[in-house]
Amino acid sequence: METPVYSAKEFASLFGISKSTLLKLETDGTLPQPRMDNGIRTYMSHDIQEYLKRLGKPPLVEMRRRQIFLNFKGGTGKTSISAFYAFRLAELGMNVLMIDLDPQGHLTQCLGIDHSSFDATLYNVLIERMDIRDVVIDTRMKNLKLIPANLDLSPVELSLTSMNARELRLRKSLAPIQDEYDVIVMDASPSIGLLNLNGILASNELFVPVLADFLSYHGLKILFETLTTIEDDFDFLLDNIYIFLNHFNASHNICLRSKEALERHYSGYLMKTIIRQDTKIAEAASMGMPIHQYAPTNRGALDINSFIREIFPNLPIAF
Ligand SMILES: Nc1ncnc2c1ncn2[C@@H]1O[C@H](COP(=O)(O)OP(=O)(O)O)[C@@H](O)[C@H]1O
Ligand SMILES: [Mg+2]
């Protein structure tokens, strides 16, 4: 992952103004002077919120959100879509914290971070009560942070089993830092375990990627039954549940049929946005690069933009 920079023209268009207006507002002091890189004006995503304020526009986000990508089935796109979504939110100026809840550390790798480059994971926080700030690492973007994972996280399930308030440890640990972020995005492993339960109880929104096949569709039933149990046991209610189709290929009959089945049974939760099958998604993920850097004009990147517009309908920027 590279540090993304905007040109003057791109940056101006985010705010719906022309490049010449941007330059004028810099000259008259309404806007700050940009960084110069080899004589070229460059703008960075972490400045977007300050620019909105100075331009008298509404704030970027209206409320803070804690979101988890979960499906008990593997290979549905939890990791790649959550990584690219979170990166894109940061590129659009939000302060984002990503949390890798999978001991396989795929999210960490998806962001191009080497699994041996950090020495603490959520294990140290949840089990050994390390301060959560000590496991948050920087990325190449100032406004995108990560709690990484590697195999050191795997004993966490067993260690949690014998602890008090074992289901609420992540929620409690996050409390002191959650207001520092506009969005917290968690990537769960495909399992029903205590770590994922901690993830759900620390979230207020759930994203469920499903493939357009009938196996994924049946998995939803188990997921919803589990959620109902959690809601009863913990007197807990998610604010939103979003199911979305991923890896979609409209030329496959099975895709169309399972889309219809989802529309029939889960219409209240199903997102309008569909993430189409795009080999660039798999390529980008395997290279540790966000899709918006690897292939910004491809289907995958465009679909994630639509996804963000649906989740944040009132963003005061154009992209
Ligand atoms: N829309 C898509 N088009 C093409 N490949 C995809 C798409 N979404 C995910 N993939 C690829 O499918 C594989 C499984 O996705 P992944 O995000 O690892 O799933 P999970 O985390 O749910 O196990 C990865 O190789 C990923 O890059
Ligand atoms: Mg995964």
For the stretch 122-147, pLDDT in tens is 999 999 999 999 999 999 999 999 99
Q: Is residue 28 part of a domain?
A: yes
Q: Check pLDDT > 90 for residue 215.
A: no
Task: Identify the CA nearest to 166 among candidates 154, 174, 156, 178.
Answer: 156
Is there a domain that residue 27 lies in?
yes
pLDDT band at 213 (very low <50, low <70, confident <90, very high): confident
- Summarize the confidence of residues 186-200 as an average pLDDT: 95
Residue 217 confidence (pLDDT) above 80 = no
> Does 180 lie in the same domain as 32?
no
Ligand 1 centroid to Cα of residue 168, in Å, is 29
Q: What is the pLDDT of residue 216?
A: 77
Domain match, 253 and 194 both: yes
The boundaries of the domain holding residue 21 are 8-54
As beta bridge partners, residue 137 has 146
Return the DSSP state at 97. E
Q: Would you state the pLDDT for residue 82?
A: 98
Are 135 and 254 contained in the same domain?
yes
Mean pLDDT for the stretch of residues 19-35: 96
Q: How many domains does the chain have?
A: 2
Note the pLDDT of residue 1: 85
Q: What mean pLDDT comes out for the span 191-208? A: 96
Q: In ligand 1, which atom is closest to the CA atom of 275?
A: 1
Say how far apart CA 17 and CA 196 lie, in whole Å. Answer: 44
In a domain, 2, yes or no: no
- CATH code for the domain in which residue 288 is found: 3.40.50.300
| Ligand 1 centroid distance, CA of 215 (Å) | 16
Q: Is residue 50 located within the same domain as residue 69? A: no
> For residues 213 and 246, what is the distance between their CA atoms, to the nearest angstrom?
10
The per-residue pLDDT for range 55-69, each reduced to its tens digit, is: 999 999 999 999 999
Work out which ligand 1 atom sits closest to the CA atom of 280. 4
- Residue nearest (by alpha carbon) to ligand 1 atom 14: 75
The answer to whether residue 1 sits within a structural domain is no
- Same-domain check for residues 118 and 40: no
Which protein residues touch ligand 1 with a CB less than 6 Å away?
74-80, 106, 190, 246-247, 275, 277-279, 281-282, 285
Strand segments (E) across the chain:
35-37, 40-42, 65-69, 96-100, 137-138, 144-147, 183-187, 205-211, 240-246
pLDDT exceeds cutoff 80 at 112: yes
Flag the least confident range among 49-53, 191-195, 296-300: 191-195
**Which numbered ligand comes closest to the C-alpha of 216?**
1
**DSSP-derived secondary structure for 16-74:** T--HHHHHHHHHTTSSPPPEEETTEEEB-GGGHHHHHHHTTPPPS-SS-EEEEE--SSS
- The tokens of 302 are what? 């465009």
Ligand 2: centre distance to CA 282 (Å): 12
Scan for tokens 């590129």, then name that residue: 91
**From 1-5, 53-57, 167-171, 215-219, the region with the lowest mean pLDDT:** 215-219
Question: Based on the domain organization, do 272 and 133 belong to the same domain?
Answer: yes
**Residues 122, 38 within the same domain:** no
Measured CA to CA, the distance from residue 281 to residue 225 in angstroms comes to 31
Contacts made by residues 213-216, CB under 8 angstroms, sequence distance 24+: 213/254, 213/258, 214/254, 214/258, 214/261, 215/73, 216/71, 216/73, 216/76, 216/258
Taking only the tens place, the pLDDT of each residue in 239-287 is 999 999 999 998 999 889 989 999 999 999 999 999 999 999 999 999 9
Residue 316 lies in a domain: no
Pairing of strands 96-100, 137-138: unpaired
